[in-house]
Amino acid sequence: MKGRQSPTRTLPRSFYDRETVTVARELLGQQIVHVVDGVPRVGRIVETEAYLGVHDLAAHSARGRTPRTDVMFGPPGYAYVYLIYGMHHCLNVVTEAEGHASAVLIRALEPVQNVATSTKGPGLLCRALAIDRALNRHDLLSADFYVAGPEAQESFEIVTRPRIGVDYAGEWAAKPLRFYVAGNPFVSRK
DNA sequence: TGCACGATGAAC
DNA sequence: TTCATCGTGCAC
């Protein structure tokens, strides 16, 4: 094998250009990399949630295309980062073809490299990897912020549950769109 | 221009 | 269970 490791392991845009539930499940085990001051902060994704577009009442895009949700309506493979409760950032990856307005929320990471604080929860993982709104709309097929496959993928069971914190979404609140690695201690909640 | 409310986390 | 804290979206 020749060439640099990291760029060649970066997930291709076609990975994100698929059904959102599939992407949410297959993101488990993949690694988020954010290079800060030349230092790569790396975490393994252990918990995700799927947001299925304008018909999903729990999705931000359900209220239409606005300045904030605009990136969700764009092409796949881009970061959607927003501020919640005035103090925490949340990281999503945009999925499916342009116009679908779907995304996967990254809810928890297992520390891999250069991670000093907790990554157990969507707000905490953003703090640990120094992810904020400056990275909104950032291409995840880039050199400083990307998702990559691990050197070797271990097999694991996937647990499926309703999403967290979306009780306002009516029947959509109960749908099994949250996925996590069974038994992993870094999952935000059981 | 004002205001109610979060895809959370920490404290009590 | 309560609260911190502010950008967003929508009502007026």
Task: Give the mean model confidence (pLDDT) for residues A136-147.
Answer: 98
Measured CA to C1', the nucleotide nearest A82 is C7
pLDDT in tens, A94-113: 999 999 999 999 999 999 99
Distance A178 CA to B7 C1' (A): 11
CA angle A24/A145/A33 to nearest 5° reads: 70
Q: Å between A78 CA and C10 C1'?
A: 28
Sign of CA dihedral A20, A53, A43, A67: positive
Question: What is the percent of chain A with per-residue pLDDT over 90, rounded to a whole number?
Answer: 93
| pLDDT tens digits for range A58-79 | 999 999 999 999 999 999 999 9
Domain count, chain A: 1
CATH at residue A168: 3.10.300.10
Residue A142 placed within a domain? yes
Enclosing domain of residue A150: 5-181
Q: What is the pTM of this model?
A: 0.95
Q: Write down the pLDDT at residue A8.
A: 56
Residue-averaged pLDDT of chain A:
95
